[in-house]
Amino acid sequence: MGTWDIGPFDNDTAADFSYRVDESPAEKKAEVLRASFREVIETGEEYLDADLAVEAIASAALVAAQCPGGEPVTTSYGPKNPLPDLPPELRPEAVAALDRILAEPSELLELWEESDGEEWKTGVRNLRAVLTTT
């Protein structure tokens, strides 16, 4: 995985995921995001692959961008096309996915703990906080 910073779209996997979001019809975009959350959540206590985690974090950033206090996704590596209004039901799924990513065994967590782990974890926790704000 090529990673150049700690943001949700600052890696090759998330940039590729953005393309998949863009290519989905407007009425299917929420389901693309939901699928990324479910793949992470369904790992349970099994080892969580970094690529699945990265896609879920990118999805969470897209959902959070539509929440009060959420930051818009403005990076050139994010989706190029605007997303329709996303259903609020995605928020708890995003939170559950982020919680799973921050729990062992998680490849992405392990990789970040080898470098800027605390700064990255703070970013993920900030995303989570936006998603839980009503």
Q: What is the pTM of this model?
A: 0.96
Contact 2, 10 (CB under 8 A): no
- Per-residue pLDDT tens listing for the chain (134 residues): 488 899 999 999 999 999 999 999 999 999 999 999 999 999 999 999 999 999 999 999 999 999 999 999 999 999 999 999 999 999 999 999 999 999 999 999 999 999 868 999 999 999 999 999 86
For the chain, which residues make up each domain, given as ranges? 12-132
pLDDT of residue 115: 84
Indicate the residue type of 19. Y
> CB-based burial of residue 108 (10 Å sphere; 0-12 exposed, 13-18 middle, 19+ buried)?
buried
